[in-house]
Amino acid sequence: MQFQILPSSKIDFNKWDNCIEKAPNGLIYATSSYLNTMTDNWSALIINDYKSIMPLPWRRKWGINYLYTPPFTQQLGLIGENNIVEEELIKTINLFSTYGDYLLNFNNSFNDKKQLITSKINYILPLSNPYTTIKEAYSKQLKSFLQKANSSCLYYQTASISIAIDAYQSTYWERMPHLTQNDFNNFKVLCISVEKECKAFARQVTNNNNELLAIALFLNDSKRIYNLMPTTLNNGREALAMHFLLDKLFEEHAERNLLFDFEGSDLAGVKRFYEQFGSTNQPYLHWHFNNLPWPISLFKK
């Protein structure tokens, strides 16, 4: 089995993206366009001529490489053939980087008990069924909410990607101090670029006065629709605008061989909201490792 780590400048992006497209666990966050736009630097573990790949976003401090999670990136991990010797994988990555916080994907598992692994929540909903079947799985409370929303003269419409990103930033940025203006700028560049490939779109809900109540940005590939930036404005909460938006989105995309990826969350209120739609948890793993030399290791846990 051939393991090699290459810088992004040496990667064959056609082979890379082809591996992601074919692999069941190849998600949009690992595509070359996503990584090229959203990371400071990235390299990759390539196994057996792109039969398996693993993106490695990195930064450098004190002359030491460390792995980090790029903005708006939920899962990376090992993609493709999964019959990899775990010890060899860990050893190869640790030779490249002695410290890291890294998000694996839903199809990855670690059996090495010495590794610090925590499970993260992610809700998904299959859209392959008819809309009536999807709606049957909604909670009783959600059905009641939607009955109220549907009688309130709400309108489901296409929306501007730029406006969706700006609304999300202005509404929630204070809760995400780790994100910079440059992160949002880069993400907007990415979304406008992939929109041309029909891999990004936005939807909004307005009322009779044409007031914006809710807006959401979605990315999509051949496997999933990703719920990247859902925003409920203050005047949209009482109107149940996000409930209405997601229901209409599922109606729009029903009977397509796609999963709707809610993108988490570990927050109790958000979990309850996503569970109402009949979604199921498809967990993924967070891997933290610290092999820094003493005494530097004492300052990073």
pLDDT surpassing 50 at residue 298: no
* Mean pLDDT to the nearest integer, 253-268: 91
CATH number of 3-120+284-299: 3.40.630.30
pLDDT surpassing 60 at residue 301: no
Q: Please name the CATH architecture into which domain 123-281 falls.
A: 3-Layer(aba) Sandwich (3.40)
Predicted confidence band of residue 293 (pLDDT cuts 50, 70, 90): low
* pLDDT at res. 12: 98
Task: Sketch the domain layout of the chain as residue ranges.
Answer: 3-120+284-299, 123-281
φ, ψ at 292 (rounded to 5°) = -65, 150
Angle in degrees, CA 293, 299, 301, rounded to 5: 90
Cα–Cα distance, 155 to 211 (Å, whole number): 10
- Picking from 187, 255, 171, the residue whose alpha carbon sits closest to that of residue 34 is 187
The beta-strand segments (E) located in the chain are 3-7, 42-47, 52-61, 64-67, 79-80, 99-103, 116-120, 123-126, 155-158, 200-206, 212-220, 224-232, 259-261, 280-281, 284-290
Cα–Cα distance, 16 to 119 (Å, whole number): 27
Whole-model pTM over 0.85: yes
**In CATH terms, are 3-120+284-299 and 123-281 the same topology?**
yes
* pLDDT at res. 166: 97
Question: Mean pLDDT across the chain, nearest whole number?
Answer: 93
pLDDT surpassing 90 at residue 62: no
What residue type is 216 in one-letter code? A
Percent over 70 (pLDDT), the chain: 97
Name beta bridge partners: 54: 45
Predicted confidence band of residue 294 (pLDDT cuts 50, 70, 90): low
* Mean pLDDT to the nearest integer, 210-232: 97
Lowest-pLDDT range, 161-165, 175-179, 294-298? Answer: 294-298
